[in-house]
């Protein structure tokens, strides 16, 4: 779900938490936060895990928190443990992968 509040050309996606759309974006600051949150490895290793379908729930959670924070959300990872995510775990993983892909995609014509 791209959502009405997302601009995919700006690397944005939307995640629905408790029925409300939240804009997500992996800004440079959000990527730095994500890298610090990773238990092991680098961002490129994270990309490789997603591309190979070898990611875990910890990866999805870290990506969503970083993306939500890049979109202006003020919550913490613990806050996501108690919310209803629209589309459930499958949608959460899809949005996380979408954020990661959009953060590292080259603009068209480059």
Give the model's pLDDT for residue 20. Answer: 96
Q: How far apart are CA 76 and CA 94, in angstroms?
A: 20
Low-confidence ranges of the chain (pLDDT < 70): 1-4, 39-40, 106-110
- Global pTM value: 0.85
Per-residue HEC secondary structure of 24-86 comes to EECCHHHHHHHHHHCCCCCHHHHHHHHHCCCCCHHHHHHHHHHHHHHCCCCCCHHHHHCCCEC
The domains of the chain are located at 8-104
């Amino acid at each position: 779900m791209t959502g009405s509040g997302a601009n995919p050309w700006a690397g944005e996606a939307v995640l629905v938490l408790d029925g409300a759309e939240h804009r997500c974006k992996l800004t440079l600051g959000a990527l730095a936060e994500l890298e610090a949150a990773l238990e092991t490895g680098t961002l490129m290793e994270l990309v490789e895990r997603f591309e190979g379908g070898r990611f875990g729930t910890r990866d999805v959670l870290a990506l969503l928190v970083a993306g939500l924070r890049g979109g202006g959300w003020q919550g913490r990872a613990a806050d996501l443990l108690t919310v209803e995510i629209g589309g459930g775990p499958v949608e959460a993983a899809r949005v996380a992968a979408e954020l990661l892909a959009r953060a590292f995609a080259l603009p068209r014509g480059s």
